[in-house]
Amino acid sequence: MSNLQTVSIRETQIAELREVLRKMQIQLNEIDRGLLSLAGSGKVASNISTDAGNADTWPDRYFERTAGAFADIPFERPPQPPVQTRSEW
């Protein structure tokens, strides 16, 4: 392969990569707009603490809003298969 062919292939690859990056940037911009819209809608979980200076404490009513939210839902563990016994090494 000649140097001219190598340069041509690399230029093509660079152009393809630029196109991929352009498309990715468009998608990231759409995600950003969606997240900003969601944040502005008030649909973001209210149990997330934004107080970075007080990271050693739980947010107000944290347990009621997380585990406590499932208090009325019965959780049952399904039967487990027998434990496999293996021979000694």
pLDDT tens column, 50-68: 555 556 788 888 777 787 7
In a domain, 21, yes or no: yes
Q: Of 20-29, 33-42, 74-83, where does mean pLDDT reach its minimum?
A: 33-42
In a domain, 26, yes or no: yes
In a domain, 77, yes or no: no
In a domain, 46, yes or no: no
Q: Which residue has the tokens 């293996």?
A: 86
In a domain, 89, yes or no: no
pLDDT band at 43 (very low <50, low <70, confident <90, very high): low
In a domain, 20, yes or no: yes
Residue 70 one-letter amino acid: F
pTM for this entry: 0.39
- For residue 23, the enclosing domain spans 15-41
- Report the C-alpha gap between 45 and 33 in whole angstroms: 18
- Number of structural domains in the chain: 1
How far is residue 81 from each of residues 8, 77, 84, 87, measured CA to CA in Å? Answer: 61, 12, 9, 19
In a domain, 88, yes or no: no
CA 67 distance to own-chain centroid:
21
How far is residue 36 from each of residues 2, 49, 52, measured CA to CA in Å? Answer: 51, 18, 20
